Amino acid sequence: MKKKSGKHAGGNQKARTLSSGIQKSGIWIPRVVGEPLPFAESQNRSKILEFADDNRNNPTRAEEKLENFLNQLNGGVLRDKFKREYAISGKWIVDFFFPEIRLAIEVDGSIHQTAQQKKRDRQKEEDCARFDITMIRISNREINKNGRKLIEILRKGWGEALKRENRMIGMDADEYSERNRSVSSEP
C-alpha cells in the first residue's frame, strides 16, 4: 500500500505537514512527526532514568562525601554493595540503594525543609514502604559532622532493613513465608 499524495479525504494541509507514517507488513501506520517509531529496535530511556544519570554524574558535595565514606568504611566492605541514584517504581530516585537488603539512603539538604519537598518526601517514603524498601534520611549536617554519629545512623537503618520481612508485593507475611519455605526446600 502506498502513501497517498495530494489531498486526503477530510484532511487539511497543516495535518499533512505535521504527520508522517511508516509502513509495516503492508499496513500504513500514521504517526506524528517526532513521535518514536513503534517498531524501533531500541526505545528511548525514560526521563526518570535520564535524570538519575544526570544526578549520578553531578553529585552534591554531601553525596560525594557519603559515597567516599561508604566505600572506605571498615576497609571497604560496602564497596560495590550499593547503587547511586537508583530509580524506584519508575517515579522516584533514591540517592543510595543497597539492593541485597533493600535499604535506601536519602541525603537531605536544605531543599528538604520546604513544605512542598516534605510532602514529596513523604510520598517517596510511602512508595518505598510499598516496595519493601527501608529508607533512612541523613542530613548534610550529619554527613559533614561526626563520623561516629553517621555510623550509628547507618547501623540503625541496616538493622531495620534486615528485620523487615521483605514480603513480595501483593502477598501478606504468611503467604510470603509459605512461599519461602517451599522454595528453600527445593534442591
Q: Using CA atoms, how far apart are residues 131 and 104, in angstroms rounded to an integer?
A: 11
DSSP assignment letter at 167: P
The larger pLDDT score, comparing residue 89 to residue 32, is at: 89
pTM greater than 0.85: no
Question: pLDDT tens, 126-160?
Answer: 988 888 899 999 999 999 887 888 999 999 999 99
Sort 176 into a burial class: Cβ within 10 Å, 0-12 / 13-18 / 19+.
Answer: middle
pLDDT surpassing 90 at residue 162 = no
Confidence of residue 24 (pLDDT cuts 50, 70, 90): low
Q: What is the dihedral of CA 156, 158, 164, 169, to 10 degrees?
A: 130
At 184, is the secondary structure helix, strand, or coil?
helix
Q: At what angle do helices 61-72 and 147-163 cross, to 10 degrees?
A: 70
Q: Using CA atoms, how far apart are residues 17 and 141, in angstroms rounded to an integer?
A: 56
Q: Residue 78 is inside which H or E element, if any?
A: none
Confidence of residue 90 (pLDDT cuts 50, 70, 90): confident
